[in-house]
Chain A
């Protein structure tokens, strides 16, 4: 991604709606966005898909690179992979009704994450238990669940990659199960299967971004919760109003949700709450996440075994593609847990046998991630850095972002790299004007 482009694998910019206000520049954690003349947005650094630009844009000119709902329902078996955050958008409604609503919308299968979250939980506990003796991995281990966190580490904190827990993420376990069981089922009937990830954030990469040989064999699309909400809410309302007693028939056991565990994962702290770990911590919010990663890099928190990070405040229910406000959603989750309770369903011994076989471990991911998201910008040499420092003395700026870069340092680095001109700086412009005026006034 060294060449400039307008869209990223996660977000799209509408230049017609953009007012050039620079709100997105300031919130981008990887300083990826620039505004060139005439409000034209350019992406120059790694986009990690956090969605902060979507949240910040007052003109609604940024949106997630999700797919159009219209593609649903034509000549294929649609499988919905449901983020448990979806349930939090329906206060007082049981997850099974929400999943049934999805099936009425045209998804043949609705995969709930509970089983896979539980598998992940057991595998994580086991890894940590063993690591207490072997110390193969450094403390604190970092949760791999939020993909934005993992990309952020690959891009900005590569020295922390060994801290990322090498266990397959719940969503990867879910996708694997579908490939093992649902797809072979339809291979026999000759029907095409398409996977739809239903997400609270723009985290799922647009498959078009992947290189041709890395593209998934089964077509995958991402849908934002806000994309499906209006239609789904209608179905859910009708299900609730109907007098029929709901005995839903599903083909696979994980197509329904039975415990409150999955819902709990929508909240910050929900991942570690029920995990058997001696010392763990939950951190949420992009700024907070960066602060903690900086501290880990400086050698802190080595007495903590596991840290759950979510770049959205309050956890996934703070995701930018949700419909219900995060605090209301949180209250809905808490109420649901009171109603249905928590509990595990999977036989521990069986999971441990699979763990022994290496069914949950992942090793190639870090190198893959580093090649996709690792620091790809050109490093500045000592001479260039000296030039940057000199320019900063000339600018004496206030990080106004009028130049189209997020702050003065980034701007100076852009100038030294040859990607921006000092003429774009407002302070320099005003000062030159004053200087030029003086002789004529005198």
Chain B
């Protein structure tokens, strides 16, 4: 059986509408009666990833792929890329511009938060080549409550 796949578009630098893709994912998973706690973890990761893409990425996409045992959330952008991924994963490390910090974003918690709330995270990036963040969430038996 092939998994269920769904993609959403994220527009670069559109702060007003940032979060909409994650909300669509939330609603989608709610129709499927996913475990509320799992939905919340996915929502947090989706939002953090979406914000990163809006701040640093070019246009981006957020996609989910659902299988019976796991859900994969992927955010890909064609933005400026991450120079040092290990550094970017550290809490508090941020390359956000001052204007973003003034808006209350860019505290350097994005990737650490995504790591904390997902079961597995894989970041692929090269300077100038964009970034792909792939997060896996395990679905326990019965995690998809009926």
A230 to B66, CA, bound (A): 57
B31 A385 Cβ-Cβ under 8 A: yes
Kindly identify, within residues 314 to 372 of chain A, every residue whose CB is under 8 Å from any CB belonging to chain B: none
A339 to B79, CA, bound (A): 59
Instruction: For the complex formed, measure the closest distance between the CB of B30 and the CB atoms of chain A, giving whole angstroms.
Output: 7
Contacts of B47 in A (CB 8 A): 298-300
Instruction: For the complex formed, measure the closest distance between the CB of B132 and the CB atoms of chain A, giving whole angstroms.
Output: 21
A377 to B46, CA, bound (A): 25
- A159-B40, A379-B33 known; A295 vs B4 contact (CB < 8 Å): no
Kindly identify, within residues 144 to 169 of chain A, every residue whose CB is under 8 Å from any CB belonging to chain B: 156-159
B30 A298 Cβ-Cβ under 8 A: no
The one of A158, A299, A380 that contacts B44, using a Cβ cutoff of 8 Å:
A299
A378 B33 Cβ-Cβ under 8 A: yes
- A389-B4, A413-B31 known; A382 vs B66 contact (CB < 8 Å): yes
A379 to B32, CA, bound (A): 4
B39 A382 Cβ-Cβ under 8 A: no
- A156-B30, A295-B19, A298-B47 known; A382 vs B68 contact (CB < 8 Å): yes
The one of A158, A297, A377 that contacts B26, using a Cβ cutoff of 8 Å:
A297
A130 to B19, CA, bound (A): 32
A385 to B145, CA, bound (A): 15
A250 CB-CB contact with B under 8 Å: no
Range, interface on chain B = 20 to 34
- A378-B146, A379-B145, A386-B4 known; A298 vs B31 contact (CB < 8 Å): no
The one of B4, B32, B36 that contacts A158, using a Cβ cutoff of 8 Å:
B36
A295 to B26, CA, bound (A): 11
B63 CB-CB contact with A under 8 Å: no
Write out, one digit per residue, whether chain A residues 256-298 have a CB within 8 A of any chain B CB (1) or not (0).
Answer: 0000000000000000000000000000000000000011011
A300 to B47, CA, bound (A): 9
Residue among B26, B48, B66 having the largest count of chain A Cβ atoms under 10 Å: B26
A377 to B3, CA, bound (A): 23
A294 to B19, CA, bound (A): 9
B23 CB-CB contact with A under 8 Å: yes
B40 A297 Cβ-Cβ under 8 A: yes
B118 CB-CB contact with A under 8 Å: no
A382 B4 Cβ-Cβ under 8 A: yes
A75 CB-CB contact with B under 8 Å: no
The one of A157, A297, A299 that contacts B48, using a Cβ cutoff of 8 Å:
A299
A375 CB-CB contact with B under 8 Å: yes
Kindly identify, within residues 30 to 86 of chain B, every residue whose CB is under 8 Å from any CB belonging to chain A: 30-34, 36-37, 39-40, 43-44, 46-48, 66-68
A381 CB-CB contact with B under 8 Å: yes
Contacts of B1 in A (CB 8 A): 382-383
Kindly identify, within residues 377 to 425 of chain A, every residue whose CB is under 8 Å from any CB belonging to chain B: 377-383, 385-386, 388-389, 413
Contacts of A375 in B (CB 8 A): 30, 33
B32 A381 Cβ-Cβ under 8 A: yes
Residue among A156, A295, A379 having the largest count of chain B Cβ atoms under 10 Å: A379
The one of B40, B67, B146 that contacts A382, using a Cβ cutoff of 8 Å:
B67
A159 B39 Cβ-Cβ under 8 A: yes
Instruction: For the complex formed, measure the closest distance between the CB of A376 and the CB atoms of chain B, giving whole angstroms.
Output: 10
Instruction: For the complex formed, measure the closest distance between the CB of A187 and the CB atoms of chain B, giving whole angstroms.
Output: 44
B22 CB-CB contact with A under 8 Å: yes
A380 to B43, CA, bound (A): 19
B26 A294 Cβ-Cβ under 8 A: yes
A172 to B113, CA, bound (A): 39
Instruction: For the complex formed, measure the closest distance between the CB of B140 and the CB atoms of chain A, giving whole angstroms.
Output: 15
B127 CB-CB contact with A under 8 Å: no
Instruction: For the complex formed, measure the closest distance between the CB of B122 and the CB atoms of chain A, giving whole angstroms.
Output: 21
A413 to B28, CA, bound (A): 11
A156 to B32, CA, bound (A): 12
The residue in chain B whose Cβ has the minimal distance to the Cβ of A385 is B4
Contacts of B94 in A (CB 8 A): none
Kindly identify, within residues 128 to 146 of chain B, every residue whose CB is under 8 Å from any CB belonging to chain A: 144-146
A299 B32 Cβ-Cβ under 8 A: no
Closest 3 CB pairs of A and B: A379-B33, A298-B47, A159-B36
Can you add 15 more A-B contacts, CB < 8 Å, to A294-B19, A382-B32?
Answer: A159-B37, A159-B39, A159-B40, A294-B26, A294-B43, A298-B47, A300-B47, A379-B33, A380-B31, A381-B32, A385-B28, A385-B31, A385-B66, A388-B31, A389-B6
B residues at A contact (CB < 8 Å): 1, 3-4, 6, 19, 22-23, 26, 28, 30-34, 36-37, 39-40, 43-44, 46-48, 66-68, 113, 144-146
Instruction: Write 23 A-B pairs (CB below 8 A) sorted by A numbering.
Output: A158-B36, A159-B39, A294-B43, A297-B43, A298-B23, A298-B26, A298-B43, A298-B47, A300-B47, A378-B146, A379-B31, A379-B32, A379-B33, A379-B145, A380-B33, A381-B32, A382-B3, A382-B4, A383-B1, A385-B31, A385-B66, A388-B31, A389-B4
